[in-house]
Amino acid sequence: MDIKLPMSVQFILNQLNDNGYEAYVVGGCVRDSIMGFAPHDWDVCTSALPEQVIDVFKDYKVIPTGIQHGTVSVVLEDTVYEITTYRVDGEYKDNRHPDSVEFVSNLKEDLARRDFTINAMAYNDKDGLIDYFGGIDDIKHKFIRCVGLPKKRFSEDALRIMRALRFAMVFGFNIEGRTSFTMDILADNLNQISIERINAEITKMLSCLCDKPLQDFDNEEYYKYRALYLKMLKYLHIISHKIDEVDYDEKFRRIAEYSDNFLLNLAITFDSPRIEETLTWLRYSNNVIAGAKEIYTLGHYLVNEAGEWQWDYSIYPARKLLAKIEHSDYHDVINFAKSLCDDTNNAQQIRIFLSLGELQNDVARCIENCDVYSLKYLAINGNDLIELGYKGKQIGEILNKLLDLVMRDKVKNTRAELLQIVKDGKLNAGI
């Protein structure tokens, strides 16, 4: 099997070979190349010790990235390439970091310490593909399988439990039985992993679901992804009871039918009155939290308070919804609401569901027609009111009342007409 290596990567291998050292590309770049994906990074493993690697590339920029673990980085044409010495790891007492590492001269020993068989392959043009642990077969049969004993691999770094789920989701693979069973047994070890690292895996998994046309899956594919999603939530519940252990299956159904956006996946996954607290615990950014919370809040409002808007057949409810949206997208808000009320055996839910479809169309027309639904589109601003003698809170109150009148089509959005209404004191008269 031939893998096309970038010229800079081939140069690195050649430089190490010419100086008497073994060198291979290794890990994810080999896996992705075999599966037909473009690798994001090209990592190199070598028999050369870190100081020998530095000497080989002394004429280039070299960064001692993790020299205590055998890794140095070489910068070629503004791209960073990690080069790591063959090594075996000592004991992992904290389920994350080895207490020590030992450099070795044998490639097989180095590959044996890696997490999954699909990530434990190496390649160079001279020797071809090196696959001691059945990575090719596992790719062929769509399996995530640990290298060696799953208990040892997951005890070394508990984050591998979440990585197994992520790889299975990304590639549409199954998790081999013994590997899956051990993940369940050792899931509590995730408590020793930083929330930031767990966040990264959750984000990748939920983003991956955006790329899958889940509604088009056959039953086998659907249940495969559902099982992986349920495992993810089960493990999150184990490490924090902030994640409610309820309706996991229903949440996946809603994602499968209504979501193609990460923020919406996040809102559905953590759909609970504690959504802000949960996402804060998971270390999401303020912008992400605001967006997901807005989808949750407005989505539940549209369903729970449907009587306030669904019988108003004007364009006003659409404009009003747009006025409330600051951090998300109206499609996500309305799709979240739809996912809450699609019970075909419930007449009230059916009516709300149909009204939501009409609201979605109305919102689209508002945007297309450049309707006024925000103060920034109003023909007057605070400076105009200051000139008329208004101060402080009065200004905001007046502008919001004028905006509401414009959104209800009670007045035209022209500077002259809006100022005249204020001067005539007609604001509280309902026009």
Per residue, the 3-state secondary structure of 263-311, as one string, reads HHHHHHHCCCCCHHHHHHHCCCCHHHHHHHHHHHHHHHHHHHCHHHCCC
What pLDDT does 242 receive? 63
Predicted local confidence at residue 245, as pLDDT: 65
Question: What tokens does 230 get?
Answer: 């349920």
Residues above pLDDT 90, as percent of the chain: 84
Task: Please provide the distance, in angstroms rounded to a whole number, between the alpha carbons at the two ends of the chain.
Answer: 78
What pLDDT shows up at residue 424? 87
Domain ranges in the chain? 1-141, 143-261, 292-368, 375-429
pLDDT at 113: 93
pTM: 0.88
Q: Does pLDDT of 344 surpass 90?
A: no
> CATH for 1-141, among 3.30.70.120, 3.40.50.300, 3.90.950.10, 3.30.460.10?
3.30.460.10
How far is Cα 305 from Cα 159, in angstroms, rounded to an integer?
42
Taking only the tens place, the pLDDT of each residue in 375-405 is 999 999 999 999 999 999 999 999 999 999 9
Confidence check: pLDDT of 95 > 60: no
CATH class in words for 143-261: mainly alpha
- Show Cβ contacts of residue 395 under 8 Å, excluding neighbours closer than 6 positions: 382, 385, 386
- Interhelix angle for 248-258 vs 262-269, to 10°? 160
